[in-house]
Every structure is written in C-alpha cells, then in structure tokens.
C-alpha cells in the first residue's frame, strides 16, 4: 500500500516536471502557464485500473474510461485481479455479488478488452496491461510445468571404492523432476593424528529412533543425529536443553570442539562444558553456531574425563541435528580441507536414462551427487480460479517468450493489431512474489557463455556446506 502511494507521488512528480519542462523548452512564460493549466496528453498521468473479481462489462468500461478522461487521466494500466486473498480486504470488497461476472480469458472477456482498446482509441487515451490475469508475477494457465519456475535439487550417495557402482543412483525427485548433472569427489579422510585420538563413549540427552547418536561420529556428513521432537516448539531451549556428552577412559586434553551441523537444521546457542564426575557441569566456552558448514571453536587447553556440548537453541523449531561432532587436541583441525575444483569428477555422461550409474570408483570413500531440477510449483496470485497457472521460468528465454506470445498478452495484441504501439503501449510486471528460483535447463550452458568457465566443479558449493577451492572462490 505504501508502495502504491509512493508510486502515485512519483507519477505526480513526473507529471509536474514534464509540464514544467514543456514550458521551459518553449522559453515563453505564457506557454508555460498555458501548459500548466491544460497539460498536453503526453504528460498526463496514468492510473492502475483494477478489473476486480471478474466484474466487467462493456457499458461500465465506457463509462469509467470517459470519467477518467474527463478527470485528466490519459492512460490506464488494466489490471485483472481477484478477491479471494484473505487479509487483503482493503483491495477486494466485492463479495456477495454474482451478477455481471465475466470469466477471465473467455472470448467474452477478450471482447471486453477489445472494447476498452477501441474506447481508448476513440477517446485519445492509451492502455497498458498487466502481463497476466492476476496480481503478482508472470504466468498463467498456458505455462506448462516444464516452463514453470525451476530450482536445483540434489541427492547425495556415499560409496566405498575401489569398485564398480553399477546400479541406480538415488534421485531427489519432486514436481517434474529432470536430471541436471552427476558429480563425484573423494571424501577427505581425517588427518592421522585426529584419527589416533582416543575414542570417548558418547551419550545424548535424547535421540530420534531413526537418527541415533553414532551418526554424529561416523565421519560422514550425510548421516546425522537428531534430538527428539517432531513438532514446532520441541527444539532445545535454555530451560530444556539438549546435550551430547563425551566420557574418556583417561583425562583428555581438549583444545577445540568441532561441530558440523546438518545444513539448515543445526544447533545455534551452545556451551562446551566439562565435569569431574559426569554429574556437575561447568561451562568452558559459549558459542553460537552458524546455520551451515563445519565449524570449529578453540578453547583454552582443558583436561577432563567428561565433556559435553550443551545445546540451548536450534536453527529449527522442532529439534536439532548434527552431522559430525568431535573434540580435538590443541592444534588439531577437524576440517581444514577444501575440495580442489579439479578433483570434482563429471559423471553426467556415465549415468543412463534409467538413472543407472556405470562408473568404477577408485580407492577411497566417494561422495556422488545426482543433481536435478524441479518445478517450484509456484503459481500466479491472486487470480481468478480459471486464470491461475504456473509462474513461468524467468531465466528461460523460451519460457518467457512463450508466456508473452501465447498467453494473455499475445491474445490482446491480436485483438486490434493496428492500434498496437499507438493505443496499446504498455505491459507491466507488478510485484514479483514468485519465490526463489535458481535453475533453468540452459543454466550450465548460459553460465559458461556469460562467465567463461564451467560451473559443474563448483556445484558442491551450491548449498554452502562444501567449500570448493577457497571460501572466496566458492562464494
């Protein structure tokens, strides 16, 4: 609403400046005054004209357009709209009336638009149209799921080499899933000195039955521990924290705690605590964890048989989730590795149409990632139920062209072609509310063309939890 008011102000400021400029150009004060009193059509304001809730008829169109013309408005941005958005009552208060509705996108509706175009021509006015039959976005029922907004998805698999994979590679799936690429890289091994650390007995305050604590110490980022809780509000709090404890046979000198949260679901506020008996705990260090990626926090060298990670808040409301957790000796590093881009193998062509990956892995533990892209499923809104449809893929020239040429705008431009450019002069995309979209079928090809290199080796950095090259390069 504030934006609309702001836009009105801008329109009036532009109008005022244009009138002033017309007078100044002439250099004659009397002409400036005349233009101010009776602005020429070219500088008169436009208004947004909502066709709300399918209420439209030719008689009302003629009456309304003539009224605007009399009021000094010379352009109308016609904007089909619908009432069914809850909470937006300020804009749509026409409920309870069923007469005079014309179904959007019907032949009768387009005849109303043709009538408006002819009336604009007769009155010497100009028209623009929102690019689709709803309030926000760019799309409609003509947009196929293939041309809808897309996003990248991935499914990771860990494979122990050496050996032939030779089976179906799990896929993420989703609405209109299509494959994008397959990459593989060898997982780093912990350094020999970290591997030689004594193994503590680990316990947790709670564990989800399917995500037990051993998942947090198996050196595999893809497996994770989850605290109890599946409902909002069950995540750890200060009053009801979660914890994971370490009990060593002999006192262990800790110099750092290493935590790799499950990306997007991990703990936030934590304390590393020590205890002489596993009962009474004393905080050694408090810290806050980021939402993604392995993180390591150094502490003063502290010797104890008992440590625990106390978790007092989470990045999600239901529980908290950790992929890897360990205590390190002073000077040790849990994840000081980065993946060199040249170590990321492109296995895209090794997977057949059925998703069978025919690849023989060399020695080591390999992470294989099958990337695909899916429709976000996002539709334009609010729109009349008959006019609802997918938002088109804004990064696809083909999808956007189809939207404009085969959708509502294409049909409008075919109504009175001789008046296009004279009377019908504008198309608007208002209020993009289509949500995130980060992929399109031609993304890799376009990226290479525009940026000069292949993005494939960098795909593992896409979710932010894997650093490829340096952090700067990944970002």
Determine the 3-state secondary structure of 61 from DSSP. helix
| Structure tokens that stand for 389 in this block | 């449809």
From the CB of 325, what's the least distance to Ca ion, in Å?
A: 9
Nearer to Ca ion, 323 or 396 (CB): 323
From the CB of 377, what's the least distance to Ca ion, in Å?
A: 31
Nearer to Ca ion, 83 or 260 (CB): 260
Decide: 347 and 205 in contact? Cβ < 8 Å: no
DSSP E strands: which ranges in 262-392? 269-275, 282-288, 295-311, 321-328, 345-346, 356-357, 360-375, 381-383
Q: How many alpha carbons lie under 13 Å from residue 371 in its C-beta half-sphere?
A: 27
CA dist 473 and 475 (Å) reads: 5
From the CB of 139, what's the least distance to Ca ion, in Å?
A: 41
| CA-closest candidate to residue 445, choices 460, 455, 457 | 455
Please tell me whether the peptide bond between 382 and the residue prior to it is cis, using omega within 30 degrees of 0.
Answer: yes
CA dist 333 and 200 (Å) reads: 18
Pairs from 414-418 (Cβ < 8 Å, separation ≥ 24): 415/110, 415/113, 415/114, 415/117, 416/114, 416/117, 416/118, 416/121
Nearer to Ca ion, 194 or 284 (CB): 194
Nearer to Ca ion, 215 or 373 (CB): 215
From the CB of 305, what's the least distance to Ca ion, in Å?
A: 24
CA dist 375 and 173 (Å) reads: 10
Please tell me whether the peptide bond between 114 and the residue prior to it is cis, using omega within 30 degrees of 0.
Answer: no
CA dist 185 and 458 (Å) reads: 12
Using Cβ positions, the residue closest to Ca ion within the complex turns out to be: 223
From the CB of 260, what's the least distance to Ca ion, in Å?
A: 8
CB neighbourhood size of 460 (10 A):
23
From the CB of 190, what's the least distance to Ca ion, in Å?
A: 12
Angle at 293 between CA 290 and CA 299, to 5 degrees: 65
Nearer to Ca ion, 83 or 324 (CB): 324
Decide: 162 and 362 in contact? Cβ < 8 Å: yes
Nearer to Ca ion, 215 or 379 (CB): 215
Nearer to Ca ion, 274 or 367 (CB): 367
Nearer to Ca ion, 5 or 210 (CB): 210
Decide: 394 and 436 in contact? Cβ < 8 Å: no
CB neighbourhood size of 283 (10 A):
10
From the CB of 211, what's the least distance to Ca ion, in Å?
A: 10
From the CB of 215, what's the least distance to Ca ion, in Å?
A: 5
Nearer to Ca ion, 217 or 384 (CB): 217
Give contact residues for Ca ion (rule: CB under 5 A): 215, 218, 220, 223, 323
From the CB of 258, what's the least distance to Ca ion, in Å?
A: 12
Nearer to Ca ion, 217 or 332 (CB): 217
From the CB of 299, what's the least distance to Ca ion, in Å?
A: 23
């Amino acid at each position: 609403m504030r934006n609309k008011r702001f836009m009105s102000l801008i329109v009036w400021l532009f109008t005022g400046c244009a009138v002033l400029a017309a007078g100044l150009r002439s250099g004659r004060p009397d002409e400036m005054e005349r233009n101010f009193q009776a602005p020429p059509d070219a500088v008169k304001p436009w208004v947004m004209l909502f066709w709300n809730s399918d209420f439209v008829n030719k008689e009302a169109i003629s009456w309304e357009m003539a009224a605007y013309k009399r009021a000094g408005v010379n352009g109308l941005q016609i904007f089909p709209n619908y009432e069914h958005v809850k909470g937006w009552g300020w804009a749509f208060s026409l409920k309870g009336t069923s007469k005079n509705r014309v179904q959007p996108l019907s032949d009768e509706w387009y005849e109303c638009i043709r009538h408006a175009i002819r009336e604009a021509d007769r009155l010497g006015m100009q028209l623009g149209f929102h690019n689709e039959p709803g309030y926000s976005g760019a799309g409609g029922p003509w947009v196929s799921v293939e041309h809808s907004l897309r996003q990248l998805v991935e499914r990771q698999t860990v494979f122990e080499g050496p050996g032939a994979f030779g089976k179906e590679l799990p896929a993420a799936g989703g609405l209109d899933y299509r494959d994008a690429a397959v990459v593989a890289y060898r997982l780093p091994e912990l350094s020999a000195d970290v591997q030689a650390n004594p193994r503590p007995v680990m316990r947790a305050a709670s564990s989800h039955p399917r995500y037990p604590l051993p998942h947090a110490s198996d050196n595999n980022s893809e497996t994770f521990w989850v605290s109890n809780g599946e409902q909002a509000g069950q995540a750890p709090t200060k009053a009801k924290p979660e914890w994971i404890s370490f009990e060593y046979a002999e006192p262990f000198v800790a110099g750092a705690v290493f935590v790799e949260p499950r990306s997007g679901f991990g703990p936030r506020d934590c304390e590393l605590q020590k205890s002489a008996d596993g009962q009474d705990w004393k905080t050694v260090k408090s810290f806050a964890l980021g939402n993604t990626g392995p993180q390591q926090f150094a502490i003063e060298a502290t010797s104890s048989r008992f440590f625990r990670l106390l978790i007092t808040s989470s990045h999600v409301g239901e529980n908290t989730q950790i992929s890897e957790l360990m205590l390190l000796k002073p000077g040790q590093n849990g994840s000081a590795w980065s993946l060199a881009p040249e170590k990321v193998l492109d296995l895209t062509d090794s997977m057949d149409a059925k998703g069978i990956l025919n690849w023989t892995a060399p020695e080591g533990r390999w992470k294989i990632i099958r990337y695909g892209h899916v429709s976000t499923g996002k539709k334009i809104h609010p729109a009349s139920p008959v006019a609802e449809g997918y938002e088109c893929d804004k990064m696809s020239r083909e999808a956007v062209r189809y939207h404009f040429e085969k959708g509502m705008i294409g049909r409008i431009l075919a109504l009175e072609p001789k008046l296009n450019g004279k009377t019908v002069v504008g198309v608007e995309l208002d209020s993009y509310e289509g949500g995130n979209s980060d992929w399109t079928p031609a993304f890799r090809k376009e990226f290479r063309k525009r940026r000069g290199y292949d993005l494939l080796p960098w795909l593992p950095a896409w979710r932010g939890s894997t650093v490829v090259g340096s952090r700067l390069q990944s970002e």
